Structure 1
Amino acid sequence: MNIVKIKAKPKTIIKLILFLAIVISSIIFLATDDSPEITVDTPAVPSVPEPGEAPSEEEPETEVEQPIQAPPPEQIGLDEAGPENRAKFVESRQEEIDGHRFLTENSKMEMYVKEENLSIIMRDKITGAVMYSTIQDPVQSNESWTNFMKSSIVMEYLVGTNIVTYRADMYSGNPQKNVTYHENGFNAEIYYPELEISFELAVTLTEAGFVAEIPREKIQENNERYRVSGFYVYPFLGYSKLGDREGYMFIPDGSGALIHLKDNDGKYRQPYSRMVYGRNVGIDDPHVLSLFNNRNPFNDPEDILAPVFGMVQTDSEIGFLGIIEEGQFSARIEAYPSGAILPYNWITSKFIYRQVYNQPTSQDSGSMVVRQRNKNNFDIRVRYEFVTQENANYFGLAETYRNYLLDNNLIAKKEDEFNVRIDLFGSDLEQGLLFKRDVPMTTFSQASNILNTLQANGVENILSIYKGWQNKGIYGGLPIRSFNPESALEDDKSLQSLLEETRENNIDLFLHHDALRINLDEYRNSRYKVMRKFNKRRHTDDVYGNVYRSFHFLHPESSVELLERMKPNYINNNVENILISGISNELFSFSENNREYDRIVTKEYYESIISDYDSTFNLMLEQPFSYLWKYTDAIIDLPSGSSDYVFTDEDIPFLALTLRGIVPMYSEYVNFQANQVEFFLQLVEQGLKPSFLITHEDPSALINTNSSHIYSSKFDLYEEIIEDYYFQLKEIHEKTKGSMITNYERSNGVTTVTYDNGTIIYVNYQENDVTIGGQTIEALSYKVVQGR
């Protein structure tokens, strides 16, 4: 026998020995480890005694206290790419679909219900398309998320003084259900015996979908230890797994945005989650900014102006618009692209009854986490309006919302005259060696000259808002307490004479009134109350300006008091037109005399005075929340885009599609748009009226003021641009005046907008000419085709 000798270097021998050791160790580990590969159960929550309470050995452990903690992506089945294979269509009415028994129907829809988890399946009777509200067989995950995905209603709750939020769903906590069926739906009484919490859910079939309700008075908490924090309502309605379906989720971010139903390959870790009607500074802790050059380098994300969200499955031509009818002042919209925690695309509303917040324990340092004492005062009511067939698209969602607003008298149709908006900037303050000094930018006579020059050049229809007209200017003069125009603006013309002149020339000149902020640097001894957050501290509105670093918010009662005080002042000085800002797009919780007040209380203060001003003056509101739309003569600063989150795939003009032809809409300032060609085309497409911020002086004079962000506003530079915008957009408006949009399509960079008077507008965002509908549209241009 021949023996072959192998010569190996010492390094090679060492590597082989290490390799064999690793292999043998792995085999031993796999042979002895019998734990599951993926599923990770959430550990039981330790008992948290109340202050002064001794832990009890007899207190039983409960399985329902599962903290909301997202498991790592590898633990939730992101690698399980198999399709669900649930039917997209069911040809005819069934006794049962996927364990859901037929319950009721109307001329358009059928409703099927599974009593085990109160899950719903909705079926369109014409096409047979079905939409599911829960996941039947969730991918392997921990028990908490599995139960969440299979549940129609998920309750969040707080335990003692623990800051962690826990969940109770249709499975965990062994809920007891008593379901009563009726001809239009069902009512369900749900009770968690270990938590001693109960609530009622009512689901009612409507002509276009269904309504889900949880009345506040039916939420019973019988154990001091456990308190309701919030609810998810049908969170997985219309869900899809990875890229199994075609379509998108609609989020009301700014003008509106879409998140496509696709497989994101796990690249997104965070969902979209925003409060309806913006931040709640009264309880939410602000994020810590990293300032650049002692300034905030980041733009704030766009607010949610209307309490809506949606889902469209284009492959089966079915979708829904969710409208939060009750509870919108304490609600969030959350949208999860696949890969953000779960391999599913899903969108939902979340309602917040209690939160925790940081309570300072001393003036200098130290804090403790405190639970909100009382539930926020609201019922939960969500309306799901379904769209099908050719209406199963985002325009169908906008049209649905438009009809809803009109049918419920939540908005009134206004006269739709075309105006160009010319906002005039009066004055600000800069810090001198010893005292602050005025920086007048547009005096009253200069304002007159600007407006008269435009009219002489043919720009006849003008709407103007005068900002910074008051004593100490736009920021030093907060709050406005009397009709006291800034003396530095009075040259040979007073504000009263300017107002009279503009009336004679048919110019709508509005005085700007910020009813929210107070400048304590200027009015330290003010008798007006300042808003205090739940932690009893004053809220500071940090602006990082060159003169004033921050402002404070007025107590809602003081905002009302000041506006009531100003009302006779305005009337006696022949002021007919007022623009109110601040309280039009800010809502917060607050505390007073050791009591907590939610955002609904703030809303009631604001709505009462705004309604009063609407009945007295010509009133406009700056970027108002939807509950105020019926009071404003026009919507100012309507966003034309979204916040541009990384997970959004497409911006859509949802608000413009909804409101065009009902209420005049004015854009944000043209001055500060990065791409003015594209912005102009967006104005054409969305039917927005242009807005300019104008000064007589060069804005370089503002460099040391709080208005240093105004870098381009001098009238001499914008005179021709204003005229160009005016004549082009006015011509388009004359062909679409008073008309609503009836169809909206996008294809390869070309948008086609159809109005109910037959007019069609083609907008080409491409850098080459295109032909569509027999019409040739030049690059980066538009074309209007007159209808009948």
Structure 2
Amino acid sequence: MAMNFKKAFVLFTAVVMSFALSGCFGAEANTNKPFSVPDEIKVLETGAVAENENYSLLWDGDAGAVLLYDNADGEVWSSVPYDYYRSGDRSNEYQELNLCSSFVITYSNKTTMDSAAENSFDAVRNGDVYSLKIKNGVRVIYYFRDAEISLPVDYILCDDGLETRILADKITEGDNILLEVAVMPYFASAKNNTDSYLFVPSGCGALMYVDDTTRNIRNYSESVYGDDAASQPMQQLTETETVRLPVFSVKDRNRSLMGIIENGAELAKINAVAGDSQIGYSAVYPSFRIRSTAESVIKGADKKTATVKKVTLSKAKAKYLSVRYCPIKGYENSYNGVAAAYRDYLGLTGEESSIGIMLNVIGGINVSKSFLGIPYNSVSAATRLDEIPQMLNELTDRTDANIAVKLSGFGKGGLDGKKLAGGFKIDPALGNIKKLNKLYQSCEKQGIPLIMDFDLIYFRSSTSGFSKNYDSAKTADLIAAQRKSYSMVTHQIEDGGDLMLSRDKLIAVGEKLKDKISDWKLSGVSFSSLGTDAYGDCNDTEYYAKNRMSQDAAKILSGFKNGVVATAGANLYAAMQSDIITDTPEKSSGYNFIDAEIPFYQMIFKGSKLLTSQSVNLSSDKVQSFLKAVSTGQALEFTVIRNFENSYIFTANSGLSSGVFRDVKNDIIDFSNRYNTALSSVKGAQILKYEKQGELAHTVFSNGTEIYVNFGAETAVTPFGSVKGFDFISKEGNSK
């Protein structure tokens, strides 16, 4: 039986209904396979379906459960929590329905637009589950009769665990369309009120504890690589951090399990439920959203307004969506062990450079001026190219820290430029190619890498072969997608005016940039938006729901590997192609049910990529930002300008008042001199262990160096001596 889930649309009039349907389905051909249930449903006999040296995969047709059995120690991970599976107690129907469901689908009716959910255990009880032996596993097709949807899934045994693969191109549908699939919600679970926790990769990383006695149930859900930038909701309650890594885990008492979203991560969410006393288990799991959505506010004949959600008729063009589940073996039974296992899984190579300071220099600011009462926009030179050498000399005279320079907002129009990639030009108010080359020569003599940042996604006017009218991405209701901004006051998502480049042009703009700057003297390039903003495009099913963003971005970035490649706050696909990752996440989304924040992101990339903090001087608490960088062995980033005009206060860049070089210079020098020795001692070292007790954090690096950081005001005692408030102490290791 189907459970009522929610009303997906609020409609006030027949006019509104007509608009919603035409916006969703009118111009779109339905290529989905029709739903049908075979006359005879084959059922595979219960038992082992695959085995290798490490694990055995078992299928229980009666329970509709898959079990991963460890051949060495007999440990079992199961789609139905193994304690519950063995107990045989099915007296609580609510508990049974949830714990015994390997999948939960959310769907919408094409005509009424109502939304509902159905659990796979309904199909199990009704005998509507087909199963067939395949190589190294079992293929299972779940027939959801009420939803008129079939879901084919392959469970495949791997050397390191289990792969669950949804065969997205073989899904069939009837009068309803599939919106979202929750994958094995209780495979990565732990019994409540035990020594256990859930790990979710919100921002830097976070833990959720599994107690249910003193507080209510806690639910978490965030999109991998962020919400689709082309179809964000119109309202959200808090400003959130992006999920940059498609990984999650559970520590279940004396064992741990890691889940990795391998294929279709752009379409995925990571969800968690902790402290559900009715079910008795806490769990973390992924789900896949396979269609693009958009929200519109429209007015009916009665002048009332409604928020209407539009959904594309066709699915995102993906052959399969997969999740790999890996028991943590040979690593510490904690998030530290999960970080080490995930780092090994990614196969990270290379070694970070020895940069201590990333100087993010801002070029032009677009300001409003007037002439004879006629308003116009003009680029104000916050920093000219020929002013930078003097700034660098003032730093190098007083610090031994190695410096790198990132040029931001030096393209046509400055930081708020309207053209893609700054129009592939340097704004004349800031300099020219000759002055850029001269700056490069000056930096090269001092061993200072010089990189320039480019925005390949957002634009407001046509740019050298890319049209404002024809080359913008489209939302699900086929209007031009715009950059969104979040209002801390109204909690509204507001259009920022910037269009987003159509996805089928994204690789082309990267190639054009490579060609246009081939004779510029630069050590490398930086990409602010490409590394962190994943977005879909309803011009083509190939790009629905952010699909293929990782492949496209990786292809662009790989084309610049002849020099340094930097990305800001990079999602995994961009981080893997980068030499430098700036603006790394230093917090989670900060929901009140997050029990602890951990620097999981830094634990993955430290040692193989140069990581920099977020801009210390622009932080609301620069000391805390500095200490977070120290605790994870990151370089310090500072954002600076040479000149500040009062007119900047009335722009989106008013915060640059905290970046005036003459005011920031002493902080740059003091922070870097205070930290330079400790930073040098962890160059190229990975983070093996991070723990925080109260305000005292302890980090152990792979070369033996240990750092204690005191984030509080009171003096703390460590094995290396006392640490004053807001300070740190380190002991250099012996291994290289």
Q: Deviations over 1:42-92 (max 9, x none)?
A: 5999xxx9999xxxxxxxxxxx9xxxxxxxxxxxxxxxxxxxxxxxxxxxx
Secondary structure in 2 matching 1:758: coil
Retained in 2: the 8 A contact 1:175–1:192? no
Retained in 1: the 8 A contact 2:632–2:687? no
Structure 1 residues 555, 494: closer, same or farther in 2, change over 3 A? same
Question: Which ranges in structure 2 are unaligned for 5 or more consecutive residues?
Answer: 8-16, 23-36, 38-45, 488-494
1:304 to 2:251 alignment: no
| Alignment match, 1:172 | 122
| Alignment match, 2:672 | 726
| Alignment match, 1:210 | 162
Q: How does 1:57-456 map to 2 (within 5 A)?
A: 113-122=59-68, 130-134=76-80, 136=84, 146-173=96-123, 174-180=126-132, 185-192=137-144, 197-221=149-173, 223=174, 225-240=175-190, 242-243=192-193, 245-263=194-212, 265-267=214-216, 271-287=219-235, 300-313=239-252, 315=253, 317-339=254-276, 344-354=281-291, 357-358=294-295, 370-378=310-318, 379-387=320-328, 391-406=332-347, 411-433=348-370, 434-456=375-397
Larger Rg: 1
Mean alpha-carbon deviation: is it higher for 428-437 or for 123-132?
123-132
| Alignment match, 1:56 | none
Q: Deviations over 1:567-619 (max 9, x none)?
A: 2331223344211221221222212389974422444443332222x234422
Deviation at residue 122 of structure 1 after TM alignment: 4.7
Secondary structure in 1 matching 2:227: coil
Q: How does 1:764-775 map to 2 (within 5 A)?
A: 764-773=710-719, 775=721
Structure 1 residues 598, 544: closer, same or farther in 2, change over 3 A? closer
Structure 1 residues 677, 515: closer, same or farther in 2, change over 3 A? same
Count of residues in correspondence between the two structures: 680
Aligned letter for 1:551? Answer: D
| Alignment match, 1:587 | 534
Retained in 1: the 8 A contact 2:567–2:582? yes
Retained in 2: the 8 A contact 1:476–1:522? no
Secondary structure in 2 matching 1:534: coil
Deviation at residue 557 of structure 1 after TM alignment: 3.5
Q: Deviations over 1:668-692 (max 9, x none)?
A: 1101223333322211111111100
Deviation at residue 312 of structure 1 after TM alignment: 0.7
Retained in 1: the 8 A contact 2:163–2:325? yes
| Alignment match, 1:77 | none
For residues 108 and 593 of structure 1, the distance between their equivalents in structure 2, rounded to whole angstroms, comes to 43
Which of 654, 661, 667 is the aligned partner of 1:708? 654
Structure 1 residues 132, 462: closer, same or farther in 2, change over 3 A? same
Structure 1 residues 714, 396: closer, same or farther in 2, change over 3 A? same
Question: Which ranges in structure 1 are unaligned for 5 or more consecutive residues?
Answer: 1-39, 53-63, 65-99, 290-297
Retained in 2: the 8 A contact 1:235–1:346? yes
Deviation at residue 761 of structure 1 after TM alignment: 2.0
Structure 1 residues 196, 675: closer, same or farther in 2, change over 3 A? closer
Q: Deviations over 1:75-118 (max 9, x none)?
A: xxxxxxxxxxxxxxxxxxxxxxxxx9677666655655432233
Secondary structure in 2 matching 1:309: strand
Deviation at residue 649 of structure 1 after TM alignment: 0.6
Deviation at residue 124 of structure 1 after TM alignment: 5.4
Retained in 2: the 8 A contact 1:757–1:787? yes
Percentage identity across paired residues of the two chains? 21
Secondary structure in 2 matching 1:329: helix
1:607 to 2:554 alignment: yes
Mean alpha-carbon deviation: is it higher for 687-696 or for 439-448?
439-448
Deviation at residue 635 of structure 1 after TM alignment: 0.8
Retained in 2: the 8 A contact 1:360–1:535? no
Deviation at residue 716 of structure 1 after TM alignment: 1.8
Deviation at residue 211 of structure 1 after TM alignment: 1.7
Retained in 2: the 8 A contact 1:445–1:492? no
Aligned letter for 1:380? Answer: L
Retained in 2: the 8 A contact 1:516–1:581? no
1:529 to 2:479 alignment: no
Retained in 1: the 8 A contact 2:356–2:679? no
Secondary structure in 1 matching 2:547: helix
Retained in 2: the 8 A contact 1:416–1:661? no
Q: Deviations over 1:640-671 (max 9, x none)?
A: 11121111010000011111111111111101
For residues 67 and 200 of structure 2, the distance between their equivalents in structure 1, rounded to whole angstroms, comes to 23
Retained in 1: the 8 A contact 2:64–2:121? no
Q: Deviations over 1:222-263 (max 9, x none)?
A: x3x1333332221012434542x2221111110001111112
- TM-score, normalised via structure 2 length: 0.82
Secondary structure in 2 matching 1:487: coil
Retained in 2: the 8 A contact 1:276–1:329? yes
| Alignment match, 1:661 | 607
Deviation at residue 178 of structure 1 after TM alignment: 3.4
Secondary structure in 1 matching 2:474: coil
Structure 1 residues 377, 414: closer, same or farther in 2, change over 3 A? farther
1:510 to 2:421 alignment: no
